[in-house]
Structure 1
Amino acid sequence: MIITVVDHYPKIPNPPREPKLRKAIHAYDQGKVTKEELEKTFDEVTKEVIEEQITAGVELITDGQIRWEDGQSYITKKLDGIEIGGLFRYFDNNTYYRQPIIKDEIRWREPIILNDWKKAQEWAGNVPVKAVLTGPYTLARLSRDEYYKDLEKLTKAYAKALTEEVKLLEENKVKYLQFNEPSIQYYPEDFDLLFEIYKEIRKYFSGKLAIYTYFHTVLPLKDRIKDLPIDIFGIDFVSRKENFEILKDFPKNMALGYGIVDARNTKLETPDQIAQLIKQALNYIKDENLYINPSAGLEYLPRERAYEKLINLAKGVNLVRGEKK
């Protein structure tokens, strides 16, 4: 078992801790601090959230995506051919993202997350940091396409651009790479397209390759997951309880990202509750094939509550480990 997280982490702590990032962004917008000073604050907060994850007991962390405005803008603003549009609702949640507008051929221009990952891994020391990207299919589904005007062409264009980033991550010996693809749950009829793009991406990455989903049911995909050329498939078991039905049929050839801590609710799970859910999975899935994590990113929780949830997640895992000895 590996204790991990999905992607983003809360950026702003509650009082009496200082909301330094909010202040820095506001000051930058007013022209009171330089870009370099703002970047320094981003680094400071990233270091804090890395330390919080490690202190809580997380064994495979992320950089917290502290620089990300949302799951789409941070990536697409570093690609050519795309403009950033207005705010759109993110699936059926009370959160919003700025919609990418495809104006021309999509091309990779510069590193997207490589430098963030390199700094995070340096600060994390011996604790591995996984690189996280929004997947090509989900980017395509959440974009307004004024150029390709074809979902398959747009998805493959995104995939081609992101493959350049994958090559860089491989060169820099990234061991864990996760793509977030929640959109495929809403359009299971597009699974063949998803398979095709990840078959290509797989050629360029030798580490642990993951696809994570959340917010919806995966049952329409259950007979196809085994075909994906990946190592880990992440599922949200909080938003849709019927997803527990997949445990008995989950592919033996891959690991499960087991999303059992509610990332969108401040109610705190107990270590005992978490341990019971882990035991339920262990009836069907090997210990070494379980990556235990929240149901989605934690950014929309109060930072202190997110930390408490991770502490209890680690305690729950360690309860089960103790019983297995």
Structure 2
Amino acid sequence: MTDVVATTPGLFPLPDEAKRELSDLKGHQKGDLVSGGEGGRVAAAYERVRGEFVDDQIEADLDRVVEGQARWDDMLAHPLTVHGNVETGGIVRYYDNNNFYRDPRVTGELGFSGDVAAELEAAAELLGSDAGDRLQAVLPGPYTLADLATDEHYGDEAEFLAAVSEFLAGEVEAFPDHATLFLLEPSYVTNAPGDGLDERASEAIDAVAGATDAEVVVHTYWEAFDEKPYAHLMDADVDAIGFDLVAADRGANLECINEYGTKDDVALGLVDGQNTLVEEPRTVAERVAWADERIPSQSFGTTYVATNAELFYLPTNKHLEKLSTLVEGARLVEAGEVEA
């Protein structure tokens, strides 16, 4: 019997009250965490939101708890936009969604930052003794982060991808104890790496995964895998690959799995992270059963039950309802009460 883990890819929606408070702070710089004065008020606001996010997940009884990434105004680009050797360019569209972020323009060496580690340390304190078993770190995968950025320093695509990978690995090494690391790689399927780059992208993911002893999930969404990049990704030493069962072509993903296999664990995007319609828990369980039925050659050690994409697209009330749906659906799977 598979171990069913209810979790999310993070990036939660900022509550309306916090949005108003942060926008009212004069001179607010996005992502500002300095102490004292107005910066201190911004930090305090984000700290309160982090506490709400952790409490919401504990109340919903999620198996893995994320920090929530309230400060990630620039979505997956965040780890670069707060880096000292990165300039934030103009506003660009975030994939095919009506969301936007500032273009991170890398102008110097990508040395250690520690920004995400500081967030996770704060979340670990809120979880207390449960942190090592429940805390889930979230990062953009190296291919996606390089894809979202503009290189104005390294001058070579392969060198830049390697630098982004090395940067992320250094950040991961500073993380507090955590149970799981979700590497979010939507670009790996929406703008799949071509010949040569696909192998390097897999190696970059492998390097980041090697920086932690936690379980590593490469979570993709919005589209299905191309076969060759998928085959290379299977060479990366990660514990699970995530498949979008909401928006992507399920048949194409199944072809990759049946041709090349998949990891011993799997992550399934079962709940729509962008649509306000709240699924029934039974729908979640039925989608897990559907996947199990069509991958008869494999019995997964762990099945991560998650939303297909980040949750910042949703109103807070719908976001909270979807957390409960994930947990209740996972429990139905564990009980073996639902068939495809």
TM > 0.5 between the two? Answer: yes
Q: How does 1:1-325 map to 2 (within 5 A)?
A: 1-13=4-16, 19-29=17-27, 34-108=38-112, 110-125=113-128, 126=130, 128-169=134-175, 172-185=176-189, 186-189=191-194, 190-220=197-227, 221-242=229-250, 243=252, 245=254, 246=256, 248=258, 251-283=261-293, 284=295, 285-286=298-299, 288-323=301-336
Structure 2 length normalisation: TM-score?
Answer: 0.85
1:16 corresponds to: none
Question: What is the one-letter code of the residue matched to 1:26?
Answer: D
Matches of 1:150 and 1:278, distance apart in 2: 42
Deviates more, 1:111-120 or 1:126-135: 126-135
**Is the alpha carbon distance of 1:292 and 1:247 closer, same or farther for their aligned partners in structure 2, counting shifts above 3 Å?**
farther
RMSD in angstroms over aligned alpha carbons?
Answer: 2.3
Q: Confirm or deny: 8 A CA contact 1:225 1:251 kept in the other structure.
A: no
Q: Confirm or deny: 8 A CA contact 1:222 1:249 kept in the other structure.
A: no
Q: Confirm or deny: 8 A CA contact 1:21 1:42 kept in the other structure.
A: no
Question: Match of 1:224, SS?
Answer: helix
Matches of 2:249 and 2:323, distance apart in 1: 21
Q: Confirm or deny: 8 A CA contact 2:264 2:301 kept in the other structure.
A: no
Question: What is the one-letter code of the residue matched to 2:240?
Answer: I
The Cα offsets for residues 225-256 of structure 1, whole Å up to 9 and x where unpaired, read as: 42121112122221113355256557353321
Structure 1 length normalisation: TM-score?
Answer: 0.89
Matches of 1:54 and 1:9, distance apart in 2: 15
Matches of 2:141 and 2:337, distance apart in 1: 36
Question: Match of 1:280, SS?
Answer: helix
Shift of residue 219, structure 1, vs aligned partner: 4.2
- The total of aligned residue pairs comes to 316
The Cα offsets for residues 175-226 of structure 1, whole Å up to 9 and x where unpaired, read as: 3222222112122423201122233334432221221111211143443342
Shift of residue 268, structure 1, vs aligned partner: 1.4
Identity level (%):
26
Matches of 2:172 and 2:12, distance apart in 1: 23
Q: Confirm or deny: 8 A CA contact 1:131 1:176 kept in the other structure.
A: yes
Question: Match of 2:15, SS?
Answer: coil
Flag structure 2 segments of 5+ consecutive residues without an equivalent: 30-36
Shift of residue 160, structure 1, vs aligned partner: 1.8
Deviates more, 1:174-183 or 1:54-63: 174-183
**Is the alpha carbon distance of 1:193 and 1:324 closer, same or farther for their aligned partners in structure 2, counting shifts above 3 Å?**
same
Matches of 1:264 and 1:77, distance apart in 2: 24
Q: Confirm or deny: 8 A CA contact 2:142 2:205 kept in the other structure.
A: no
**Is the alpha carbon distance of 1:91 and 1:20 closer, same or farther for their aligned partners in structure 2, counting shifts above 3 Å?**
closer
The Cα offsets for residues 262-316 of structure 1, whole Å up to 9 and x where unpaired, read as: 0010111111211111112233353532100000111110110011112122112
